[in-house]
Amino acid sequence: MKKTPFLSAALLLAASSANAEVPPLSLDTDHITVSGLSSGGYMATQMHLAYSDWVSGAGIIAAGPYYCAQNAITTALEQCVNKASDKLDISPLISHAQKLASEEKIAPLDNLKDSRVWLLRGTLDATIHETVADALHAQYAQWVSAENLVYLNDKPFGHHFPAVDTGTNCTQSAAPFIGNCNYDAAGALLNHLYTDLVKPDEQITGRIFEYNQQVVGGETADGLAEKGYLFVPKACEEGTECRVHVSFHGCNQYAEAVGQDFVTKTGLNAWADDNNIVVLYPQTKKSLFMPLNPQGCWDWWGYTGENYATRDAAQIMAIKTTVGNLAKPPL
């Protein structure tokens, strides 16, 4: 198990509230977990499959199957979002994943058997059709053991990250895409990904830090926003060894659009705070030309290149580099 302290001026980290330097962290980066909403859900799946030998679990809200768009925005719009259609055929998607694994562009699919996967789609979601979410579940069921796979599809939620007591109307989908649903999706997904969590108390003592994604994420991070965010529990600041969870926001949910709402209001930080989990919140940015990404989505259709769903994907490489740099010893 890696226990690597970290404090590097080159990472250009500062506390968003107090402009303080990040203290040395002892991070277990042998395995991490991921989660995401909408395009972030697609990205979480892509990162999970690309590195299933490293990513031990994924919590995915309102997304479809791996490689659904097949490197084409037209396919993405035709079968991977809200258009009602016949049952989405996952056989070519599974075959493509097998091909990528055989070429070592993603990890061996056998790794997924012991992964823990938590899926959610609200019945009132008008952005991701039920056939699309069902296809993701069916795809994961091909690889993940039944006892490790959870699929919730019976709750009256809109297209958002359901929370306990913050956000917009639970039945609708509106910025910042966090729903006031009296439902702790953050706790549900984290408790499935980790089996040893304690229930959080009412006070969060950890802090949120900004980091320079262009520096920490390496050369493939140039398409991301300048700033990303890191939630660090107090115990982790004080030297306790901590695990790492990466949370991917959805389209129109990047910081320039909604501020720090996704970083602070989903409920993930409360659970992370009392369970020694550092949460990484990488950020995209919108782009109106080259690449065309006007809603600041994570790449699940190929706007960064045809390898967008593999280990060679620019965004996946940037996140992996970021986690690695967070765990580096001082320079």
**Structure token pair of residue 191:** 């408790």
Residues of the chain above pLDDT 70, percent: 91
Quickly state the pLDDT bin for 22 (edges 50, 70, 90). Answer: low
Quickly state the pLDDT bin for 3 (edges 50, 70, 90). Answer: very low
217-230 per-position pLDDT tens digit: 999 999 999 999 99
Question: What is the C-alpha R_g of the chain?
Answer: 18
Q: Which residues contact 91 (CB under 8 A, 6 or more apart)?
A: none
Weakest-pLDDT range from 37-46, 49-58, 217-226: 217-226
Of residues 214 and 100, more confidence is placed in 100
Domain limits of the chain?
9-326
pLDDT value of residue 329: 56
Each as own residue / partner, the long-range contacts of residues 101-110 (CB below 8 Å, 24 or more positions apart, any chain) are 105/50, 105/307, 105/310, 105/311, 105/312, 106/49, 106/50, 106/51, 106/52, 106/309, 106/310, 106/311, 107/49, 107/50, 107/51, 107/52, 107/53, 107/54, 107/311, 108/52, 108/53, 109/49, 109/52, 109/143
In DSSP terms, 277 is beta-bridged to 243
272-328 per-position pLDDT tens digit: 999 999 999 999 999 988 898 999 999 999 999 999 999 999 999 999 999 998 887
CA 201 → CA 176, 247, 268, 271, distances in Å? 25, 21, 13, 9
Q: Is the model's pLDDT at 11 over the cut of 80?
A: no
Span 168-191, mean pLDDT? 98
59-99 per-position pLDDT tens digit: 999 999 999 999 999 999 999 999 766 779 999 999 999 99
Q: Is the model's pLDDT at 12 over the cut of 80?
A: no
Q: What is the pTM of this model?
A: 0.94
Residues taking part in catalysis: 38, 125, 159
Contact 37, 298 (CB under 8 A): no
pLDDT value of residue 75: 95
Query: 3-state DSSP call for residue 311?
Result: coil
Mean per-residue pLDDT of the chain: 92
